[in-house]
Amino acid sequence: MMSSMDTNNPLKVSEVREVSPIKISFEDLDLSETPSTLKGLPVPSLPSQFGSSHPMPGMPQASAPGMMPPQGSWDPSSFGMLNDPAMFFFNQQQQQQQQHHQHHGGPPPPVPYMPGMYPNPWVPWGGAMPWSMPMYPGMGGMMPPPAGVQAPGDMRGQRKQNLQNANSKGQGSQRERRRRGRAKQSKDQAVSPAPASEDGDDNHSALLTEVRKHGGKSKLTLKDVMPNVLEFCYDQTGSRFIQTKLDDANDGERLAVCNAILPETAKLASDSSGNFVVQKLFEIVNVECKKQLASKLQGEVMRLSQEAHGCRVIQRAIQHVPRESQLQLAGELHGHVVSCIEDMNGNHVIQKCIEQMPPDSVDFIIKAVEEQTERMAAHTYGCRVIQRLLEHCASHQLERMLEQILSATARLASDPFGNYVVQHMLEHGRREDKRRIIAVVQTNILEFAKHKCSSNVVERCFEIATVGEHAQVLEAERQALVSAVLGNPSDPHPPLYQMMEDRFGNYIVQRMIEHSRGFEKDLLRQRLMAVKEQLRGSSSGRHILAALDKEFPRGQVPVV
């Protein structure tokens, strides 16, 4: 292909670029012979950074300035090439530069390139070659810079110097590679017990090293590791080993472990691995050991309650220690209840106190919540605490708190967190409380039904008034709710028709179909079947029709 080309009449630049989509490999070109007409042509001067004072390996200098070295006087294999470079491009570059200088002056145009190759892929004459790019795509690496010269923007020399400095400080490159390898493995694999260190930096005991190496297959017993029990507790694999052995240990072995960790109970409670051993001991040791462990947590309860690991230990302690120890631990929370409730970890400790301690022992929590009930009910963690109080405390203890919730029912029902408090009031409150909430919802049922949060409250109202604890005494309230949804028979757009097409209200219609009774149930079906075609046109409407089919099997004719 190339040998048949007339070197005296080279292609134009535009013609070269027009064939750029064609893939040409070196095997397709015959570059073994250099045209004799190109020998002795002047070579344009190179940029200063490619000066001839730094010859490239395998490429000698030209015999005279501006002259190309004789053919075959340099080794193309030094640059990953099988043959001499394509002199066609060299000739083409010369003519372009001469034409540009004649017509325009100034610097010559860029060198044309072969399809699939970078611009100016090589310099086929004496002098240094650009080292900032590969010879051609697929070559392994960049062109090397001249001896003693660092390529612009090339930081490899600096990194090499940094590694040499690190070696002089005792931190070899081998350790650097090992650390990077471990970091990469931790990203690619799931979290698992870390293997024994190979470089000796961790200074583990021989017992722990064996457990880390063999894991659950280790034949060591709890008695064997007792001299190193604290070391095991602070290690992820060792902690799991201790917990597993404690399940099958006798009372004497459990007591020995408890006594061994007792001085560092509070410290272990904050540790990511040690806290699980402390929790395990609170579950399985005898009452006396539990008291001793709890005594070591005194003075640290508030700090631990607001820690991710420590709060779990405090919860487990409150769950398993006797009442006397419960009061001692919970006593440290007096005066800090609100700050604990608003903490992402501490709120779980407050909830555990309400669940595990006698109701008369949590008056300090009730009083703290009563001071700002509405704000706590609308708080992401405070709403949970109020729900626990509604579940475990008597109504007479919560009188003041309940009244504040009832007074703010309309606002809390539409709150992302407060609506759960209102729903809990409907489930655990007194019958008077339920009546008051249903009355608030009934007065503006359409607005409540079409709201994302308060629609849940409306659904719960229908459920509680139909199948709840006080359903029999709430029959009048249930009928009033149904009538409010059905609206006036003469109204062409009753609340029912507005709710059935709403993304939240349609769930209330489905709930009404489930919980309506007798005549009102048949009337509800009649109203919905009148707009059956409209319901078929939407996904929410089809759900309503499915609920109708479930409640009214085919062939069953309602009595109207």
pLDDT in tens, 146-156: 455 554 445 55
Res. 522 pLDDT band, cuts 50 70 90 = confident
Res. 92 pLDDT band, cuts 50 70 90 = low
Residue predicted with more confidence, 208 or 182: 208
Mean pLDDT, residues 415-434 = 96
10 Å CB burial of residue 449 (0-12, 13-18, 19+) is buried
In this structure, the number of other CB atoms found within 10 A of the CB of residue 375 comes to: 13
Mean pLDDT of the chain: 77
C-alpha dist (Å) from residue 91 to 8, 36, 94, 112, 243: 9, 12, 5, 11, 81
Res. 36 pLDDT band, cuts 50 70 90 = very low
For residues 236 and 220, what is the distance between their CA atoms, to the nearest angstrom? 17
10 Å CB burial of residue 174 (0-12, 13-18, 19+) is exposed
For residues 536 and 522, what is the distance between their CA atoms, to the nearest angstrom? 20
Please state which of the ranges 102-116, 190-204, 379-393, 443-457 shows the lowest mean pLDDT.
Answer: 190-204
Structure tokens of 506? 């349609």
Res. 85 pLDDT band, cuts 50 70 90 = low
Res. 492 pLDDT band, cuts 50 70 90 = confident
For residues 177 and 353, what is the distance between their CA atoms, to the nearest angstrom? 50
Contacts of 218 (CB under 8 A, 6+ apart): 210, 211, 241
pLDDT in tens, 122-143: 444 444 444 444 444 444 444 4
- Which residue's entry shows tokens 């919970």? 330
Query: What percent of the chain has pLDDT above 90?
Result: 54
For residues 75 and 55, what is the distance between their CA atoms, to the nearest angstrom? 13
Residue 479 has pLDDT above 60, yes or no: yes
> Yes or no: is domain 417-560 CATH 1.25.10.10?
yes
Residue 104 has pLDDT above 50, yes or no: yes
Residue 111 has pLDDT above 60, yes or no: no
Residue 63 has pLDDT above 80, yes or no: no
Mean pLDDT, residues 340-355 = 97
Q: Tell me, what's the pLDDT at 200?
A: 43
Query: What percent of the chain has pLDDT above 70?
Result: 62
Please state which of the ranges 38-47, 86-95, 341-350, 479-488 shows the lowest mean pLDDT.
Answer: 38-47
Q: Tell me, what's the pLDDT at 80?
A: 53
In this structure, the number of other CB atoms found within 10 A of the CB of residue 169 comes to: 7
In this structure, the number of other CB atoms found within 10 A of the CB of residue 149 comes to: 15
Please state which of the ranges 101-105, 405-409, 412-416, 523-527 shows the lowest mean pLDDT.
Answer: 101-105
- Among 57-61, 68-72, 125-129, 388-392, top mean pLDDT goes to 388-392
Residue 159 has pLDDT above 70, yes or no: no
Res. 52 pLDDT band, cuts 50 70 90 = very low
Q: Tell me, what's the pLDDT at 335?
A: 93
Q: Tell me, what's the pLDDT at 199?
A: 40
Question: How many residues in total does the chain contain?
Answer: 560
- Among 173-182, 316-325, 489-498, top mean pLDDT goes to 316-325
CA 442 to chain centre: 43
Q: Tell me, what's the pLDDT at 388?
A: 97
- Among 28-32, 38-42, 480-484, top mean pLDDT goes to 480-484
Domain segments of the chain as ranges = 13-103, 417-560
Residue predicted with more confidence, 407 or 75: 407
Contacts of 333 (CB under 8 A, 6+ apart): 301, 302, 305, 340, 349, 350, 353, 364
Instruction: Please spell the DSSP secondary structure of 162-213, one letter per residue.
Output: HHHHHHHTT--HHHHHHHHHHHHHHHHS---PPPPPSSS-S---HHHHHHHH
* Helix H or strand E segment including 339: helix 337-341
Res. 518 pLDDT band, cuts 50 70 90 = confident
Q: Tell me, what's the pLDDT at 115?
A: 46
- Which residue's entry shows tokens 């085919």? 554
Q: Tell me, what's the pLDDT at 103?
A: 61
Please state which of the ranges 233-242, 334-343, 445-454, 480-489 shows the lowest mean pLDDT.
Answer: 480-489
Q: Tell me, what's the pLDDT at 354?
A: 97
10: left (phi over 0), alpha (psi -120 to 50) or beta: beta
Residue 179 has pLDDT above 90, yes or no: no
Res. 97 pLDDT band, cuts 50 70 90 = low
For residues 412 and 405, what is the distance between their CA atoms, to the nearest angstrom? 8
Residue 358 has pLDDT above 60, yes or no: yes
The pTM for the full model equals 0.64
C-alpha dist (Å) from residue 2 to 10, 12, 41, 288: 11, 15, 20, 96
Contacts of 62 (CB under 8 A, 6+ apart): 43, 52, 68, 69, 125, 126, 127
- Among 47-51, 85-89, 381-385, 519-523, top mean pLDDT goes to 381-385
Inter-axis angle of helices 236-248 and 206-214, nearest 10: 80
Which among 437, 470, 469, 467 is positioned nearest to 454, based on CA atoms? Answer: 437
Contacts of 133 (CB under 8 A, 6+ apart): 118, 121, 142, 143
For residues 14 and 16, what is the distance between their CA atoms, to the nearest angstrom? 5
Structure tokens of 195? 């293997």
Mean pLDDT, residues 544-554 = 83
